[in-house]
Each structure stands twice: as structure tokens, then as C-alpha cells.
Amino acid sequence: MKKLGLIGYPVAHSYSKKFFSEKFERENLPEWAYELYPIEKIERLKSFLKSEPDLVGFNVTVPYKVSVMNYLDEIDPEALVIGSVNTVRIIEGDNGMKLKGYNTDVYGLEKSLVPLIKRGINKALILGTGGSARAVKFVLRNHEIPYTSVSRQRHDTRIQYEDITEATIKEHNIIINSTPVGMHPDVDDFPAIPYQYITNKHLLFDLIYNPDETVFLKKGREKGAVTKNGLDMLHLQSEKCWEIWNEMVLSV
């Protein structure tokens, strides 16, 4: 049995197990399995890996996409530039186990978000500053789309939620939620922005996919904005993960 999985805390909200389990059944791959692994502290990663000898790779979700990098032996150059890892290969060699990190969030985001962006003058408001936000920034920079980051803490390179005004919303026609606010089970939560200023000229993208429509997206839809959740992004980046893991296994 070759095992894959997702580490993070929490992980119960994730559709990754469902996606890969259905994929393995559909493609007749009974030797593969995918599990969810809630790890309360990233410091427990090494001991966890020792307890799972059949694990050949894993995904990383909040809040460990940045901190996991401290535990890797090698990082793909693009992931290093992004500063965030969501996919890890476990390589068994003569000198023991080696961990190599990648970022497939960028691939999924590129294919899911960019086609929705209209030509013209665009500027994005990124809610959150964690590992997922780093992937968002990377994609926007590649497409020369300026952005403003929003955080709960004030910083020279970002604003706080209370700084967002009507002018801020009008200036930024793309609003991307990269935080877990509104994710299952806290489905009634939503980022604290002035939704009353959103119009049909806005695009709201939420990296959350459980629930299907967050309150963030619902409020945008009610104002006529184009909205999309993160499910398509999940599927796209998951297929990219599979390429990485499968290539590694076949090459051994």
C-alpha cells in the first residue's frame, strides 16, 4: 500500500481525501490510499512520519504551509520564491528519508482565477497574509496585477481591516479571501470588509471550498459581483500533486 495524506490543523473540512479516494477508485489504483492527519503542532512532524512508514507524500494545509519549510531537506525553486509549500515528496534513500517541498497552489490558482480576470485596469485586495496568500501574490505578480494585502496586524506592507473604506473597495476590483474565515464548521463567519460598496464590476474569489458558498461569496453575489470558490483550484492543484508523487514513485 502506498499512502498519501494531508497534514494541518484542523483537516476535517478538507475534500482532499474524497478527491483522491474517488480518483483511485475511478482509475483502478487499489494500492493507493489518502488519509487526513490532524497535527496540532508542526514540531511533531518528524515523529509522525516515523509512525507512517508507508507514506510516500503529503499535502500541507493551514497553518503549516510556511513553517513546514523548516523541516524539509530540499525545496523546489519556485516554492522557495513563493515562500510556501503545500506538497511534499518523501524520498527514501541510502541515507534515510529525505523531504522535498513543492507549491502546487500556484498552478491551481493560475488556472482557476486568471481566466475570470477581465482585461483592463485591475488591482487586487488580498485578505490574509499566510501561506496561501503568498501563492496569490506570486500569481498576481506574474500577471502584473498590483495588490494590497490586508491583515489583522498593522505593518508597513499591508493595511488592517478597519482601514478598508469605500475608496479602497472601489480601487480594488478583485477581492481574494486567502484566510480560513468562513470555512466549515464556522460557516457564519466572514471577513470584515464593507460589502455595501461591492458592485457588479467586482470579482470575489474565495480559496475556501467548504461550504460551497461562503458568506463572503454570498454577499458579493448579492451585489452582482462575479464569484468563485476554491474547489476548482483544489482539483487542479491536486492533479499537479499526483504528477509529482506518481513521477517520484515510478522513478524509484
Point out the residues that are catalytic: 65
Q: Count the neighbouring beta carbons within 10 Å of the beta carbon of residue 225.
A: 20
d(CA 68, CA 232): 25
Cell of 252: 524509484
Residue 176: strand, helix, or coil: strand
C-alpha cell at 83: 515562500
235-238 contact pairs (CB < 8 A, 24+): 235/19, 235/108, 236/107, 236/108, 236/111, 236/112, 237/86, 237/104, 237/105, 237/107, 237/108, 237/109, 238/16, 238/19, 238/20, 238/104, 238/108
Is the CB of residue 209 less than 8 Å from the CB of residue 234? yes
Number of residues written out for the chain: 252
Give me the DSSP letters along 125-172: EEE--SHHHHHHHHHHHHTT--EEEEESS-BTTEEEGGG--HHHHHH-
52's grid cell = 507512517
Sequence-distant contacts of 22-27: CB under 8 A, at least 24 apart: 23/242
For 204, the enclosing helix (H) or strand (E) is: strand 203-206
Q: How far apart are CA 7 and CA 14, in angstroms?
A: 10
